[in-house]
Amino acid sequence: MPLLRIVPVAALCLILGACSNGNNGTPDASLAYSAEIRRTDYGIPHIKADDWGGLGYGYGYAYAEDNFCITMREVVFSRSLSAELLGESVGSADSDFLFRYLYGSKEEFQTTFFDPLPDYVKELTAGMAAGMNRYVAETGVENLPEGDLGCRDASWVFEIDAVDLLMYQGRETFRGSSNQGTLRRAILDTTGPDEQVAAQKIVPSALQLAAMGPPLRQFAAEISPEVRGSNGIAMGRDVTQSGYGMLLGNPHQPWQRAGSWYQAHLTIPGVYDVAGASLTGYPFIGIGFNKDLAWTHTVSPANRFSLYELTLNPENPLQYDYDGEWRDIVPEDIEVQVKLADGSLESRTHTFYTSQYGPIINLKGVSPIFDGWPLFNGTSLIALRDANLTTGPRGIPLWITKGQATNLDEYIEALGIIGNPVFHDLAADRSGEAFYGEISSIPFITQSQLDDCVDGIGALLATQTSNVIVGLDGSRSECEWGTDPEAPEGSNLYGASSLPQLRTTNYVANSNNSYWLSNPEMPITGFPVIMGPVGHENLQQFSRTRIGHVMIRERIAGTDGFSTEPGFTLETLQQLMYSN
């Protein structure tokens, strides 16, 4: 019999107990969950448990009290059930097609991504799902929140499990690549070979080619967070009055819906004790602190994908050249169910086309010149390879291990998991050290490959987007992503020690530019352009980056008017933040 106890003290305290129900994604059907939930000022939940399953259970229950319907809706989309359960007025058959194609069925996702995870991650996620389910069982679907963000009496509310939650978290990983608006459309816009032969293709004029520039630059701007990004500062003992490290996290996340923050404090005594904020529906603290260090993130413009130009077989448009041999482009039919206005279900099918690199894409949404199979040159197609296809499941072990770090050595070691899909990392510890790192999911493409393999249509894309979009020659094996023995097995990503980073007792800061000027007095140089195409080495930074460094230097000198004493205190850091 589950135990629920309310203690009449200043903070609300719930003692939760339950047994797992053996659903898919639960490691042990006999596992018992228990957790303590205290809510302090502003309703912030503090969860304490003796194990990972209990921690997830308490957090899931508390989180569901505040945000259940938001995550439930996202789970429906991540499971490719949105058109079936929500109908096309709210759901999206295109979204369902795309994620069924990328991740497969739930059973396939579990085998490929969930089952290999460490047991503690499975226990944590299964516990969170169980806690959310308990909240719904006690509350009743008829009493869930109403409104645009609610789900009262919704037929699409169902009991979830750990795999459901991980599919949602994995889907969020693609926001900087396959689930970015233009790329998502480009994958779905591919419809197979044209009926006209290559000789009938119309080669664009010089004027038409020049006209590609503005839409291509707009495409790059959608990926680059120049205006809508975040700010972070990590300060070491040389620039703080206390001699300890300090940190400012200023992430620009939405206030509601998926992608917003949820503040909490999670504790397993002696194992994990972290406070801060998680993204909605995530079972760990994303930006936060423990007793020894604090960390934050800003979105990075580093390349998370690359395009490959494929040279087609003139006799067979479903084959392309690779080292002098023809390789097949494989059609794959994906079927989803769509609820019609009368409530009946209709089966629909979409065909994707896959190369060794990934899906064939059609960039007609960027410029009509990029429409067609083959393209305007009569010989080529473009394929997409996404570095984040395997990153998502590594995210939970990464952030949990970061939260357990007691110093910067352990923190930096945790970053080597490479579970970070799109972020710069900034941290400061109690000893007075500060750290910046672009230790995230970046494809292993060397500068020599960029110099040698970016030609043809790929060169046009790179030139017009200032290397934000990288297009490589797909006909040569030497243009494939390489292998770093330090990176996760089979990922073809850069390992941690090969990525830009800076450790100092001074300060580091980032406002969504490249790694180069994390501290203007200590430039970070010698890295390929894909690690920071926006504001790359020896290029001007955004005005937001530049004014940030000016404000920091004025505070260090004590000339900003906040205080005549040089260096940072809590008060002057707050003043700096709100005076921008």
Query: Annotated catalytic sites, by residue?
Result: 230
* Residues whose CB falls within 8 Å of the CB of residue 207, separated by 6 or more in sequence, listed in order: none
In the sheet that 246-250 helps form, which strands lie side by side, from edge to edge? 246-250, 231-235, 507-510
> Residue 337, SS3?
strand
Element (H, E) at 80: none
Q: Is 229 exposed, middle or buried (0-12, 13-18, 19+ CB in 10 A)?
A: buried
Q: For residues 397 and 418, is the Cβ–Cβ distance under 8 A?
A: no
What is the torsion angle, in degrees rounded to the nearest 10, for the CA atoms of residue 58, residue 77, residue 172 and residue 544? -110
Q: How many Å apart are CA 535 and CA 517, to the nearest integer? A: 9
Neighbouring C-beta atoms of residue 8, cutoff 10 Å: 6
Cα separations in angstroms, 65 against 4, 41, 44, 278: 15, 16, 12, 15
* Amino acid found at 521: E
Look-up of token digits 């490589």:
472
Q: Is 116 exposed, middle or buried (0-12, 13-18, 19+ CB in 10 A)?
A: exposed
Omega into 374 within 30° of 0, i.e. cis?
Answer: yes
Q: Is 195 exposed, middle or buried (0-12, 13-18, 19+ CB in 10 A)?
A: exposed
Look-up of token digits 């509601």:
256
Six-digit token string for 474:
């797909």
Six-digit token string for 541:
């930074």
- Name the DSSP class of 541: P
Segments of 187-241 assigned E as strands:
231-235
Q: How many Å apart are CA 141 and CA 538, to the nearest integer? A: 57
Instruction: Quickly list H helices, 212-340.
Output: 213-223
Instruction: Quickly list H helices, 18-145.
Output: 52-78, 82-86, 93-103, 106-109, 119-139
Nearest to 354 by CA among 387, 316, 392, 328: 328
